[in-house]
Structure 1
Amino acid sequence: MSLITVENISAGYGAGAVLRDVSLAVEPGEIVTIVGPNGSGKTTLLRALIGAVRPASGRIIRRPGLRIGYVPQKLHIDPTLPITVARFLRLPGGAPREAGARALERAGVPDLSARQMSSLSGGQTQRVLLARALMGDPELLLLDEATQGLDQPGSAAFYRQIEEVRRDTGCAVLMISHELHVVMSASDRVICLNGHVCCEGAPEIVSAAPEYRALFGTGTGGALALYRHEHDHAHDGGCDHAHSHGDTEAAE
């Protein structure tokens, strides 16, 4: 069965619905990326998946006993707080030191154990957050724009590490990303979200979809323009060639 299945959920904050009739599923071992403009509900969806937001309607079905790891956008730590990476990884559950060392190695930063959290660069902090998410040996890893604020080489290195984690552990990955080059190189499937699922499918199919282009057709930076310039002539068609969720197919 699917690791997690979302069936027609609507969710938001207060009286406003950010997500409307959203359906999707994540299968074992796949990397799925969610793209969408600001305010499209990407983070709300991930928060619903981890139980931090309760859907107003619909339901979320998790495989029994599903282990989920979560990597947030960023972590704010008081710079005056003296806490090492090793100690941070042991909070709050008191995991053994050896487990932290293994997680840091898997995250690609085995030499950070004794460093103070406040002394880490942005990229190192995200690797430590990845290590923390891996401590529980997750079957599903959720990443909420985990490379926000990193430069392009740092982002590329981080997502290469995610691919290695998937290869080595077999875990599935569901990530939010605004970097098209990452989406195209690292994803098995892309879901375009704008309050509802606009389109879904293989990266090259979604990138050619009219709904996708309506959202990202201009002003989205060099990576998107470069990708379209190099590849569009090879991919015709749109969401009708991708997976759809009934009425959620219609563009806003």
Structure 2
Amino acid sequence: MELAPNTPDDVLVSISHLSVRFGSEFVLENIDLTLYRHQILTLIGPNGSGKSTLVKTLIGAVKPATGSVRVGAGLRIGYVPRRLHLDPTLPMTVKRFINLPHRQAPAAVEHALDEAGAGHLLQATMSHLSGGQFQRVLLARALLTRPDILILDEATQGLDQRGTAEFYRRIEAVRQRYGCAVLMVSHDLNVVMRTADHVVCLNRTLCCQGKPERVAASPDYQALFGETLFNREGADAFALYRHHPGEVADAG
């Protein structure tokens, strides 16, 4: 099943002529980007390309030097960070962790954990969780907001192939259930190309964007990552049900 083409009413985030500067150095320059409801949009680029800075600007943690970020009024944002360090000596259970900083309704907590595939972990100790379990708990915490936009900043870093595939299947189920947009930052290029509706390649500026296949064929993409990184070998491991919203812009 395919979604109808994107319309102006589907726009959740609009970034226009955005530049970010740290001191005298620009880390992002002249970025234009639109995020639509139901869309899975993935940011890729080499280390230091500005991916995490763009996410932090979107959520208001970094102020732009020029340009604008417009987020629809009243939109709820759920955020799953790339890592979260907890003191392993603290005997903190999942139940206690997910109720920080504010206590949540028990039914809401159980529902969010179930949707994240972590329902059986409510009484588990955080320091005893595997990497995949930890990330599912972070996802559950983000789902408590019932997000319109779910942001994943390198959320599968450190997971093995099976754990990564399972996590992305879970994200696809969340996208379908909530009707939310998903904004991902990732270095896992083959997985990105199989899960995203729209890929944006950054290297301080916007190099190229579009559907995964078009970005993979772009000379700018190939100059950064090479021609062989996108292939269909082993695609069954990441065979997710994908919608195909209308394309925002061609790569190139």
**TM-score by structure 2 length?**
0.87
- Secondary structure of the residue aligned to 2:119 is coil
Which residue number corresponds to residue 237 of structure 1?
A: none
> Map of 1:1-252 to 2, 5 A cutoff?
1=9, 2-217=11-226, 224=229, 226-227=231-232, 243=249
Write out the 4+ residue segments of structure 1 that deviate beyond 3 Å after TM superposition.
225-228
What amino acid maps onto 1:129 in structure 2?
Answer: L
Unaligned runs of 5+ in 2: 1-8, 236-246
Q: How many angstroms does 1:226 deviate by?
A: 3.8
CA RMSD, aligned part only? 1.9
Q: Is the 8 A contact 1:199 1:242 kept in 2?
A: no
- Secondary structure of the residue aligned to 2:95 is helix
Q: How many angstroms does 1:196 deviate by?
A: 1.0
Unaligned runs of 5+ in 1: 231-240
Tell me how many residue pairs correspond in the alignment: 231
1:88 & 1:14 partners in 2: Cα distance?
Answer: 36
- If asked which structure has higher relative contact order (CA below 8 Å, sep 6+), I would say 2
**TM-score by structure 1 length?**
0.87
What amino acid maps onto 1:162 in structure 2?
Answer: I
Q: Which has the higher helix share?
A: 1
2:144 & 2:201 partners in 1: Cα distance?
Answer: 30
2:117 & 2:190 partners in 1: Cα distance?
Answer: 21
